[in-house]
Structure 1
Amino acid sequence: MDTFTATTTAVGGSVGLSALVAILPLLTFFIMLLGVKAKAHTSALSALLVSIIVAVIGFKMPVGLTLMSGTQGLAYGAFPIVWIIVTALWFYQVTVESGRFEDLRLTFDRIGGGDIRIQAILIAFCFGGLLEALAGFGAPVAITATMILALGVKPLRAAVTVLVANTAPVAFGALAIPITTAGTLTGENPAHIGAIVGHQAPFVAVLVPFILLYLLDGFRGVRDAWPAALVIGLSFGLAQWWSATHFSYELTDIVACLVSLGVAVLFLKVWKPRGTEAFRERIGIEAPRATEGLRPVRVWMALLPYLVVVGVFAVGKLWKAGIDVPVALKKTDIKIPWPVTSGHIVTSSGKPISGTTFNLQWLSNPGTMLLIAGLIVTVLYMIFHENGRYRLGFGQSVAQLWHCFYRMRWSALTIVSVLALAYVMNFSGQTVSIGTYLASLGGVFAFLAPTLGWLGTAVTGSDTSANALFSNLQHTAATNAGLDPDLMLAANTSGGVVGKMISPQSLAIAATAVEMEGKESEIFKRVIPWSLAMLVIICTLVFLQSDLISWMLP
């Protein structure tokens, strides 16, 4: 079979015209979702079809290579992405089936002083950030959405809350793998890139708790509980800055989440929000049961599943004493050269691209770690119960895994279709054409640089993928424009942070978690204004950091 090299001038010899044609699949998705009001999986399949047509006719990619590029995306979407989400939902179901989740609700009620708005911030922002730091790939959204829904928050509000909350920690998610990817691909120091991100992401982190209050209870919520939002957001942002700059960029989110959660607990001991009962009445949530009878052992057992999660991921991602566990797990990965595409999609120098090798992370991926954590919790709940109360049978637990697979079927179709779309757009040159056009706009590029990360994450659902797509482009464009390459790489990462909430993958995960399958367009309409607003903030900040306030960079 002949080889194929993607070019950014495939259509009419023009970067601009190629970019214009390349954006058609994305327009198709959002027009179908918002204009036609089609279901998410129908919209994704329509966009995939358009991307295939554009790849073959517009970008002259052979049909066989185009179709097989899509199948690799399908495979990656199924494993690990869908696998991670299914196991995250299953893990939550284990706590529900055991009866311990109600105790967890009461525990958060006690910590948050009975205020659901504060509880939701602690769960979505602080705890969700910790899950993002360790797992990423949709698991935080899936788990925290179900937790907030169980508090009594309405489905749409719960979905929007967790999507917006999942912005601040994304840059340093999964032990800062997006930043490590950017550094590895460009030869730059990832620690320095991480430090620059640490001078950008906190500006978003400080705002997010205020936005969450507004989403949950409008301006009344902000007026009633703004001190808590300020303390949580400020402590998170400062810890992010300190860890990324002076400690470890890989551990930034873990430090920030633990600090903000600890500070919040201490602050709520001396301050109580106003309007707690009025908010419950407005949204029709019953008053909580008394927590006086919530004995320490019940609190401990309610928190146990999440302590196990943190422990399993800490060992899997960080443990190097005696045996380097992360390296040992990585050695179990199976590299599969993808049929037809491997060796036949090449760079302009004739070198095969590395992306056509499928990495089957059957043991090292977050989904398998969540499965292991869930099985450990199941066994512990089988052993430690109160005279039959809270007992969970092993068969009962495993049966829930099948239930979660069935429940995810349509969302899974959406996710694998979106990943197939991303792979076709990436391998054919459509995505890079859009990026190259934006990079060609001269001095204004410093302002637009975060837009590339935003676009890449919106398409793929991953800040890591966005950096894989655009890091070299950002580096080259910055060098040509006389800008700091590390600043542009950080800008790509920070832009991706606010693009994740509108990605079809994230929308499908959130919709499934709150049982709103097929209503992703409603969620999208609620989150897109916040995504755009925060993107403008990041674009402005990066533009200023490139010149007027360059002194603030490390």
Structure 2
Amino acid sequence: MQWVQEYNPLGNILLSAFVAAIPLCILFYMLAVRRAKGHLAALAATGAAILLAMVFWGMPAELAFDATAYGAAFGVFPIVWIVVTAIWVYNMTVESGEFEIIKNSLACITEDRRLQAIFIAFAFGSFIEGTAGFGTPVAITAAMLVGLGFNPLYAAGICLIANTAPVAFGAIGIPIVVAAKVTDLDLMTISRTVGRQLPLLSLIVPLWLSVTMCGFRRSLEVLPAILVAGACFAGSQFLVSNYMGPYLPDIISAIVTIAGLGAFLKVWQPKSIWRFADEPAATQARATCAYSRTEVIRAWLPWLVLALMVFLWGLEDIKNFLNSIFALSFEWPGLHDAVLKDSPIAATDTSYPATYAFNFLSAAGTAILFAGLIAAFILPRYGLGKATACFGRTAFQLRYPIMTIAMILGLAYIMNYSGMSSTMGLAFTLTGPMFPFFSPILGWLGVFLTGSDTSSNALFGALQKTTAQQIGVSPELCVAANASGGVAGKMISPQSISVATAASRLVGHEGDLFRFTLFHSIAMVLVMSVLTLMQAYTLRWTLP
């Protein structure tokens, strides 16, 4: 028996959308106002979503619980698997003492916290986002910044804000590929359109990070370095996305930024070195290098191996090879094809698949696992015994984030399969000619709900295309805006916040981190909204 989704159960789309938003309001209230622990907020919101799906949207109880369980399973694998393995590698480098060498080597480039944040959170994080995505960059870079001595709240917040510019082209361009697939629009046209929106954000993100940390006046002290970082990334992102496609913008932009900023800091340093108020002041622009080149290379080697492994795992040929060795995929019992999407979300009744893939070998978390196993032999006086014990301690350390991530994905999936997410999306279509302004906001909402720009494009891509065609604007623009606006929702997604708090040892302070990033998220999506509206009517010449 199949159940057909209902998108306007209360007879008024605005009222229906308001009721659909209640679980999100509960989540917002508990995180931002009550500052509740993440797993408690997620439990309350997920429970409310299940109840509303059954009472108002008429979803059978069995389907509602199946959808929630399906989402929770996806949260555990591959998302939690990435987080646990990434924090494990970090914990090993700390326990072995090698992270002290990494801290000193970065200080030898610059002691300035602003520039260290741009190096690690923005540039290195973009490389990891381009290869793996799905929370990996935040997990790794937040842990590294805390290890460097950053205030944990700022470390987590800075990494979430930095993880905006690369998100649309993350995981070897998967969000753009999915957007093209679900809309039947040209892949290169969408890539070019996103590549003419996001570079504006990429150009200002380094400045945004610095201002967040120390204010605008102190940021002017490092403006030359900020301009170098922003120009390297934005320029590369524009060129690669417009002339090569959606697969490599993040990776190439990150490499160009790391190389460009590193070379620039060899000949330029700020006159005053900024550190957090609770840190001792730096006495010089660069620290004295206390370790030999061999020791520095050895300390960085686990992270270089990690970056290489994640990059290799992102290549389609290697993924296919690993999946040929072992890949388990099955239809989720009781849910697969049991839900039908209806008009206007789908042109005709379309079954909603629910296939769970346990592709252990090809998962990004497994790439990090192998990197950690290699690191166990690289790290001095370590080995598999200590690495295994460290893995157990890491899993226990992350027990609450694991619960939170699983429940948040359960919330996302029950809202998707019940039709509640589509109800909220349809409410935006009532805006008529102003719809291009709301296109990025719809993508922003999708990423907030799912934690993934890929999932947001899959959820709302067809709706963006259909509405754009109805009002006579470029469908590629609105579909691209879904991806571009979605990047700003990443930093407030409960899934991302759970990953960041786990990495920065702020478990239980999810509400504080949500409040920290909320303003930045809203400001960034409004920038994209204004840009999209202008491109729809007055700046059409900027479109491909």
Matches within 5 A, 1:31-46: 31-46=29-44
How far off is 1:220 after superposition?
4.1
How far off is 1:295 after superposition?
1.7
Tell whether 2:485 aligns with 1:490: no
Q: Which residue, out of 432, 441, 446, partners 2:422?
A: 432
- Amino acid of the structure 2 residue aligned with 1:329: L
Report SS of the residue matched to 2:340: coil
Match of 2:60 in 1: 62
**1:422-475 Cα shifts (integer Å, max 9, x gaps):** 111000000011001102321010110001110010111111111111011111
How far off is 1:141 after superposition?
0.8
Between 325-334 and 69-78, the greater mean CA deviation after superposition:
325-334
Tell whether 2:278 aligns with 1:283: yes
**Is the Cα contact below 8 Å between 1:168 and 1:208 reproduced in 2?**
yes
Q: Which residue, out of 166, 169, 174, partners 1:172?
A: 169
Change (3 A) 1:213 1:61: same
Change (3 A) 1:399 1:437: same
How far off is 1:531 after superposition?
0.6
How far off is 1:31 after superposition?
1.2
Match of 1:90 in 2: 88
Matches within 5 A, 1:151-190: 151-190=148-187
- Amino acid of the structure 1 residue aligned with 2:78: P
Match of 2:103 in 1: 105
Q: Which residue, out of 248, 260, 264, partners 1:263?
A: 260
Change (3 A) 1:97 1:209: same
How far off is 1:173 after superposition?
0.7
Match of 2:8 in 1: 9
C-alpha separation in 1, matches of 2:95 and 2:199: 38
Match of 1:22 in 2: 20
Tell whether 2:318 aligns with 1:325: yes
**Is the Cα contact below 8 Å between 1:47 and 1:421 reproduced in 2?**
yes
Report SS of the residue matched to 2:6: coil
Report SS of the residue matched to 2:291: coil
Structure 2: runs of 5 or more not aligned: 343-347
Matches within 5 A, 1:422-501: 422-501=412-491
C-alpha separation in 2, matches of 1:69 and 1:161: 33
Change (3 A) 1:497 1:290: closer
**Is the Cα contact below 8 Å between 2:126 and 2:137 reproduced in 1?**
yes
C-alpha separation in 1, matches of 2:402 and 2:295: 35
Match of 1:245 in 2: 242
Tell whether 2:207 aligns with 1:210: yes
Match of 2:296 in 1: 299
Q: Which residue, out of 334, 340, 355, partners 2:334?
A: 340
**Is the Cα contact below 8 Å between 1:152 and 1:285 reproduced in 2?**
no
- Amino acid of the structure 1 residue aligned with 2:104: L
**Is the Cα contact below 8 Å between 2:31 and 2:512 reproduced in 1?**
no
Report SS of the residue matched to 1:188: coil
Match of 1:360 in 2: 358
- Amino acid of the structure 2 residue aligned with 1:513: A
**Is the Cα contact below 8 Å between 1:109 and 1:116 reproduced in 2?**
no
How far off is 1:479 after superposition?
1.3
C-alpha separation in 1, matches of 2:489 and 2:280: 32
How far off is 1:137 after superposition?
1.1
C-alpha separation in 2, matches of 1:163 and 1:63: 36
- Amino acid of the structure 2 residue aligned with 1:145: A
Match of 2:232 in 1: 235
C-alpha separation in 2, matches of 1:425 and 1:521: 22
C-alpha separation in 1, matches of 2:489 and 2:350: 31
How far off is 1:117 after superposition?
1.8
Change (3 A) 1:377 1:436: same
Tell whether 2:75 aligns with 1:47: no
C-alpha separation in 2, matches of 1:431 and 1:230: 39
Report SS of the residue matched to 1:283: coil
Task: Percent identity, please.
Answer: 40
- Amino acid of the structure 2 residue aligned with 1:144: T
**Is the Cα contact below 8 Å between 1:439 and 1:449 reproduced in 2?**
no
How far off is 1:11 after superposition?
2.2
Change (3 A) 1:317 1:536: same
How far off is 1:287 after superposition?
4.6
C-alpha separation in 2, matches of 1:293 and 1:41: 43
How far off is 1:350 after superposition?
4.5
Report SS of the residue matched to 1:282: coil
